[in-house]
Structure 1
Amino acid sequence: MKVNDLLNLEVTDIALGGKSLSRQDGRVVFIDRGVPGDRVVARVTRMRRAFAEARLERIEHASPLRVAAPCPHVQRCGGCRFQDLDYTEQLRIKQRQVNDTLQRLGAVAEPPVRAIVPAPETFHYRNKMEFSFHPGAEGAVVLGLHERGTFDRVFALDTCLLPSELTVRLVRLTQGFAAAHRWRAYHPSRHEGVVRFLTVRHLSATGQCAVHLLAARDDVPALDAWARDVAALDPAVRTVSLGINRSRANVALAEEERVLVGDGLLVERLRGLDFEVTMNAFLQTNSRQAEALYGEALAAAGLERGETLLDLYCGTGTLSLLFAGVAGEVVGVESVPEALVAARRNATRNGIANARFVEGEARRVLREWARGERPQRPRPAVVVVDPPRAGLHPRVVARVAELEPRRVVYVSCNPATLARDVKDFGERGYRLDEVAPFDMFPHTPHIECVARLARA
C-alpha cells in the first residue's frame, strides 16, 4: 500500500472525529467519507506506520444505512457530513463512541453511559452561523462555506439546512449587495482584500436576530446602505454591526466593533432566565438542546439549599446563574474579561444576588486560593467544570480534588479529553457515577456530555 493506490474497501464504522473506518491487509484506513456498510473505492492520500488515510473516489455498493441527503452542498461542504446516514444510526454511533472512549482512554471497565439524548430538531437547529468571503473568478466576491477539509476554498451558498430560513435570506441579500457594489473579499493566505466573514445569530427562544460583518478594515463600499437593507429585510433583525479584525488570524472575532443599526445587543431566554448576547459572546448554538443539557447538569449536581457551588470556565454565567436558583452561593471563574462583564450584567438583569464572578485562568485562581494568595476562597460542595475541547490541565484536576467537593459535574464537548480527565479524577479519589451524552449537532461528529463524579 502506498500513496495514490486505489483500494477496494468496506466501511465498517465511524471513528471519533467523523472519519470513516476500514481495514486493508491488517492496516486501519481512515476515509474522508462513507457510512458503515458502504463498499467503496478510495485513493490513499497519506501513509503512517499504524494507519493510512484515503479519499473517497466512488461508492460501488451503497449501505442500507445510507439515506438521501436533502442539502445540495453535502458532497463538498465541511459542515454536516452525516446527512446521508440514518439519524438513528448517528445516535447509536455517538453513544458507542462515548462508551468506547471511556473504556480505552479513561480506564473505565463498564462506563455508566446513559442513552444519548436526541436533538429536538435535526435541521434548522443552529442559532448562529459564520459564512466566509473569498475572492472568486475575475475579482468576483464569493460568500458561502468552506469546502470540506480546506481553509482556502469557499463555495457560494445556495441554501443551508442548519440555521433559520431568515439566516439564508440574509446571506443571499449580502451576496447580491456585495456583487453589485464590488466588495473585495479577503484572501486568508495572501492577506489582501477587505470583507472576511458574515455572522448571523438568530435566537430560537426570543426570535431576535443580529447580523455582523467582519472586515480587515472599515472601507466597505455602501456599508450603511447594506446595513439598512439588512435591517429592513425582517423585523426580527434587531442589530447590525461591523467588526474589524486586522490580524492575519483567519477567525471571525472582532478586535473592535462599530454598531450600524440598533444597540449591538440581543437577549436569549434559557430555562426561565434572560441572557445578553453580544457579537463575540459565547452561547450554545442549539438553544433548545442546551436547555436539556443544562437541566441535566442541574440534576447531576444534586445541590441542597444553602450549599456553595464553584463554576470553572463559567463564560457569561449561563450555568452559574441557573445554579444560583438552588445554591446558597455560586462562584464563577472565567479568564475572558468581556465574558465576566456580561456575566455580571446577566446576574443584574435576572435579579440574582448570590453569584459572584472571579477573573482569571482557572489553574492560576485555584493555585492562589490554595496558597492563601487570593481572598474569599470558596468551600464548594459541588464543582462544575465546562472546559474547552482541550479539557482540564492536570493541575486543575488536582486543585479541584484538594477542595474535596462531594461531587464534580463535568460538561464536556470532547469525549477523548473527558475520558482522560475522568481517569485523572479517579486517581484522586473520584469515581464516575454517570455520563449523559447529548446530540447537540445532528449530522456532525460532535458530542456533548454531562458527567457526574462523586468522592469515593
Structure 2
Amino acid sequence: MIIEDIKIIDILQDGRGVARTEGKTVFVENAVYGETLDAEILAEKKNFLEARKINTKIKSDYQRKPPCPYFYECGGCSIMDINYDTQIELKKNLIKNALKKSTGLEIDGIEIVKSPEFRYRNKIRLQVDKDGGLNYLETYSKKLVKIDDCLIANEKISENLDRIEKITKDINQKFTASIEEITIRASENNILLNLQGNFDNNAIAYIKEKYSTSNYIINLLIARDLITINGEGYLDYKIVQKEFKISANDFYQVNDYQIENLYGVAREFLGEKQKLLDLYCGSAASSMSINDDHIVGVEINKNAIEDAKENAKRNGLRDYKFIAKNAKFIDSSFIIKEKIDAVTVDPPRAGLDKDVVKTIANAGIDKIVYISCNPQTLARDIKRFMDRGYKLEKIKAVDMFPQTMHVESVVLMSRK
C-alpha cells in the first residue's frame, strides 16, 4: 500500500520521520524532517503505521548534503542530512514532548549547549568482518558498511584507523575471523583497543608475541574475561583539572568538547557544600567533577569501583566511600545513616528502577540532580518523583551526540 504527499513533521529518537494521516501516525524510514514524500506501508499497528520513503515530492528547507559518503547506508548517524541548528530544535522538541506526555508539564525555551558538529567522539565501536575490515552496521539491518573514516570520531582515532585496520586484518586472516568487534577509545596521549571475539590459545599467543610492544594499548575480550596484551589496560583523562583512570569497560562520556559543560551544568544545579550520593557512579569521573569531596558512590561494576577509589586518591579526596552494589539495593536507612544532602543519578538508557525512586523519596532527600541520555525514561522518572512530592526546578540539555537524535539532559528536582 502506498500513501502519497505526507509531510514529515518530526523525527523519532531512532531517526525515523513522523507524519500524520487522517487516521494514524506514520513512522517513515529514511525520511528528512520537513520534506513531503510518498511512502510504502511496511506494517500496520493499532495506533501507527511503519513505512519507508519511496520518493521525495517537496524537498525540505532544512536539508543539506551530508558530508559523510557513508551516510545513506551507515546506521551510525541518523540526521546528518539536516542542518545543525535544526537538529538542535528537533532535540528541544524531543525533550519537551516527552515531558508533556509523561508529566503534563509544558516547558518552552529549553536551552541546549551546542557542540562542534564533527570530530567529537573519543570512542567508536566497529564490526570486524572475516578479513579484518572495519565496518559500521547498515541502517535498520545487520549488514556491514565498510568505512575508511568516521567524521564524528575525533582526529586521533581518524588518523590511526588505517593502522588499526592493519592489526585486525593481520589477526583475522591468520586466525579465521577471530575478531568480531573492536572498540577504539582515545585519550589525549593514547589509544586503547578492545578486541572482542573468539581467540584460541594459538591466536592469543601470536597476539601477545607480535603486539606486546604496540603503540596502542590492546585488550582481548573473551566472553567475560579480559586479557591485557600490553600497557596498563586503561586510559588517563583530565576533567576540570582532575585526573581520572578509565579502564577498558568503564563508562566515560564520549564527547571531548562537552564533558566539562555537562558536569558544569550538574555542578551549578547541585550547589556547594553538599554530601553527595552518586548512584551509577562508574569510576566516579562524574561525581568528582560535580562535587569536589564528600562523596558516597554506588556502582554495580566492581572494577569501576576499584578505579573510583584510585581516582579519589589521585585527586586528593578526604571524605569518600565507594560501594560495589546495584543501586536498587541501597535503602533509605543507608542514605539517612550516611547523612546525605543530595543525590545525583546518571542511569543507563532504561532509567531508574521504580524502587530507587521510592528509596530516595523515603529518605527525605531535598535535592536530586538527574543526568539522562533518554528523554522518555527521564520524563517517566520525573513523574514518579512528582508523585512522591517533588517538583521540577530546572532543566538544561547538552548536545553530546551531533548528527544523531540523542541528547543529554540535566534536571534539578527538589522536594516541595
Name the TM-score, length of structure 2 as normaliser.
0.92
Equivalent of residue 326 in structure 2, options 352, 355, 361: 361
How much has 1:202 moved relative to structure 2? 1.1
2:61 aligned residue:
64
1:85 aligned residue:
82
Contact kept, 8 Å, 2:267 with 2:291, in 1: the verdict is no
Aligned-partner Cα distance in 2 for 1:128–1:22: 34
2:250 aligned residue:
281
1:147 aligned residue:
138
2:233 aligned residue:
264
Contact kept, 8 Å, 1:282 with 1:316, in 2: the verdict is yes
Unaligned runs of 5+ in 1: 187-192, 232-236, 246-254, 371-375
Q: Which moved more, 1:172-181 or 1:20-29?
A: 172-181
How much has 1:167 moved relative to structure 2? 1.9
How much has 1:184 moved relative to structure 2? 7.5
How much has 1:41 moved relative to structure 2? 2.7
Cα deviations by residue, 1:39-95 (Å, 9 ceiling, x for unpaired): 223221111011111122332332111011100000011111111101000001111
2:414 aligned residue:
454
Structure 2 counterparts to residues 78-117 of structure 1, below 5 A: 78-108=75-105, 110-111=106-107, 114-117=110-113
Contact kept, 8 Å, 1:434 with 1:451, in 2: the verdict is yes
Aligned-partner Cα distance in 2 for 1:177–1:452: 46
- After superposition, the Cα gap between the structure-2 partners of 1:175 and 1:330, relative to the gap in structure 1 and judged at 3 Å, is closer
**Helix, strand or coil for the counterpart of 2:331?**
helix
Q: Which residue identity does 1:118 align to in structure 2?
A: K
2:126 aligned residue:
131
1:426 aligned residue:
386
How much has 1:159 moved relative to structure 2? 1.7
Q: Which residue identity does 2:235 align to in structure 1?
A: L
Aligned-partner Cα distance in 1 for 2:42–2:210: 44
1:294 aligned residue:
263
How much has 1:178 moved relative to structure 2? 4.5
1:162 aligned residue:
152
Q: Which residue identity does 2:345 align to in structure 1?
A: V
Aligned-partner Cα distance in 2 for 1:294–1:212: 27
Q: Which residue identity does 2:285 align to in structure 1?
A: T
Aligned-partner Cα distance in 1 for 2:376–2:109: 14
Aligned-partner Cα distance in 1 for 2:190–2:134: 23
Unaligned runs of 5+ in 2: none
How much has 1:112 moved relative to structure 2? 6.7
Aligned-partner Cα distance in 2 for 1:146–1:101: 28
**Helix, strand or coil for the counterpart of 1:421?**
helix
Q: Which residue identity does 2:59 align to in structure 1?
A: A
Contact kept, 8 Å, 1:113 with 1:434, in 2: the verdict is no
Contact kept, 8 Å, 1:270 with 1:287, in 2: the verdict is no
- After superposition, the Cα gap between the structure-2 partners of 1:225 and 1:178, relative to the gap in structure 1 and judged at 3 Å, is farther
Contact kept, 8 Å, 1:183 with 1:220, in 2: the verdict is no
Cα deviations by residue, 1:397-431 (Å, 9 ceiling, x for unpaired): 11101121221111111111111111111111111
1:312 correspondence with 2:302: no
1:409 correspondence with 2:392: no
Aligned-partner Cα distance in 1 for 2:271–2:168: 53
Cα deviations by residue, 1:144-166 (Å, 9 ceiling, x for unpaired): 1111112x311211221011234
Q: Percent identity?
A: 29
1:215 correspondence with 2:197: yes
Aligned-partner Cα distance in 1 for 2:260–2:195: 29
Equivalent of residue 337 in structure 1, options 299, 302, 320: 302
- After superposition, the Cα gap between the structure-2 partners of 1:337 and 1:29, relative to the gap in structure 1 and judged at 3 Å, is same
Q: Which residue identity does 2:134 align to in structure 1?
A: L
Q: Which residue identity does 2:185 align to in structure 1?
A: R
Aligned-partner Cα distance in 1 for 2:156–2:261: 25
Cα deviations by residue, 1:267-293 (Å, 9 ceiling, x for unpaired): 000111111122111110113211101
Contact kept, 8 Å, 1:142 with 1:154, in 2: the verdict is no
Contact kept, 8 Å, 2:332 with 2:360, in 1: the verdict is no
**Helix, strand or coil for the counterpart of 1:105?**
helix
Aligned-partner Cα distance in 2 for 1:332–1:177: 38
Aligned-partner Cα distance in 2 for 1:146–1:428: 42
**Helix, strand or coil for the counterpart of 2:337?**
coil
Contact kept, 8 Å, 2:371 with 2:408, in 1: the verdict is yes
Q: Which moved more, 1:399-408 or 1:173-182?
A: 173-182
Equivalent of residue 437 in structure 1, options 391, 397, 406: 397
Contact kept, 8 Å, 2:149 with 2:161, in 1: the verdict is no
Contact kept, 8 Å, 1:320 with 1:355, in 2: the verdict is no
1:9 aligned residue:
6
Q: Which residue identity does 1:200 align to in structure 2?
A: I
Q: Which residue identity does 1:261 align to in structure 2?
A: N
- After superposition, the Cα gap between the structure-2 partners of 1:69 and 1:213, relative to the gap in structure 1 and judged at 3 Å, is same
- After superposition, the Cα gap between the structure-2 partners of 1:86 and 1:28, relative to the gap in structure 1 and judged at 3 Å, is same
How much has 1:21 moved relative to structure 2? 0.7
Contact kept, 8 Å, 1:7 with 1:44, in 2: the verdict is no
- After superposition, the Cα gap between the structure-2 partners of 1:61 and 1:323, relative to the gap in structure 1 and judged at 3 Å, is closer
Contact kept, 8 Å, 1:335 with 1:361, in 2: the verdict is yes
1:252 aligned residue:
none
How much has 1:386 moved relative to structure 2? 1.2
How many residues are treated as equivalent by the alignment? 414
